[in-house]
Amino acid sequence: MEIFMGIALATFIFIAKFISMASSATPPVTFVFGDSLTEVGNNNFLQYSLAKSNYPWYGIDYASGQATGRFTNGRTIGDIISAKLGISSPPPYLSLSPNDDALLEGVNYASGGAGILNDTGLYFIERLSFDDQIQNFNKTKEAIKSKIGEQAAVKLCNEALYFIGIGSNDYVNNFLQPFLADGQQYTHDEFVGLLTSTFREQLLRLYQLGARKMVIHGVGPLGCIPSQRVKSKKGQCLKRVNQWVLEFNSKVQKLISSLNKKLPKSSILFADSYPAVYDLITNPTEYDTSIGGLCLPNSKPCSNRRDYVFWDAFHPSDAANAVLADRLFSTLFSAPPSLAPTPHSD
């Protein structure tokens, strides 16, 4: 009970500050960290990266109708939430010059293939791990200091919003790959311990750099994504994979509770995306979508893209992202989230 009381207190504090910022005349500054679910084009600037989406038919339903580096047919969840906040979606870090004025308004550091662990997604050759992204944020802070002075830079970083969605690739492109070392070297208990201890140090580093208001996106039901379901003879969700994800999410929740107690003025919120994604997959008709197929980028795109939960074997469609963004936004701005949700069982 003590753990969830800590989560509740942090949640109420965070939501109050979040609402205050949203209603402020000054648009909120947002910094985004993560993987392909939140990337907006960083990997396009990595010459040798194999984790890119800058080809048809990605972006077909984006405003420009062109591929932008987003791993979906349209918008990411971050794009949609930014629009709801009345701000532009932060640009990719690698698209900006070191002294660009846009750094003062928010940056997206996310990179397809990225993970909490530095060896996650190794076979993509180039990608920005979470450690790399934090280092790039450090460079951003130094650039901001040179522009507006140290005191103003500290204030900007303390008041900014930090959206962090990482961890999926540590499973899909690491632990679940039989030819990689981690899946053979560690039991899952050992692996999840390594993940959470590494994640703890990374969040502490962000805090030391000025991050105070953080939203940590939980990992969704990876056992239900098409690349995993194809391993089932009947195309069903993989129960063991989903259970591993639930264990990881639970560890992260406890980690967040601990950090909120330890770190002065920290407001860290766990956004549990698992139930929403699982519900969208298992009850698609409730959202006017289906899960009957995939819109693969190397084939002719289907005309009814709004009817599908997944765009490719790993990533949600624009329509699914819209549903999930609405859920997250209402959690942050309308009512306190469920403090101890009971995960769906498969």
Under the banding of pLDDT at 50, 70 and 90, the label for residue 21 is low
Task: Tell me phi and psi for residue 164, to 5 degrees.
Answer: -130, 115
Judge whether residue 17 has pLDDT over 60: no
B/e letters for 175-212, b = 16+ CB within 10 Å, e = fewer, are bbbeebebeeeeeeeebbebbbebbbebbebbbebbbb
Of the listed 170, 272, 312, 318, which one is catalytic? 312
Q: What is the mean pLDDT of residues 115-121?
A: 97
Q: What is the pTM of this model?
A: 0.88
| C-beta separation of 94 from 108 below 8 A | no
Helix ranges (H only) for 181-225 are 181-185, 188-208
Of the listed 35, 36, 170, 273, which one is catalytic? 36
Q: Tens digit of pLDDT for each residue in 263-277?
A: 999 999 999 989 988
20 is catalytic: no
312 is catalytic: yes
For the chain, the farthest-separated pair of C-alpha atoms sits apart, in whole angstroms, at: 60
| Chain position carrying tokens 């947002």 | 30
217 is catalytic: no
pLDDT score at 250: 98
In the chain, the percentage of residues whose pLDDT exceeds 90 is 64
Q: What is the mean pLDDT of residues 177-183?
A: 89
| Cβ neighbours of residue 156 closer than 8 Å, sequence gap 6 or more | 29, 104, 144, 148
Q: What CA–CA distance (Å, rounded) separates 266 from 200?
A: 14
Judge whether residue 20 has pLDDT over 60: no
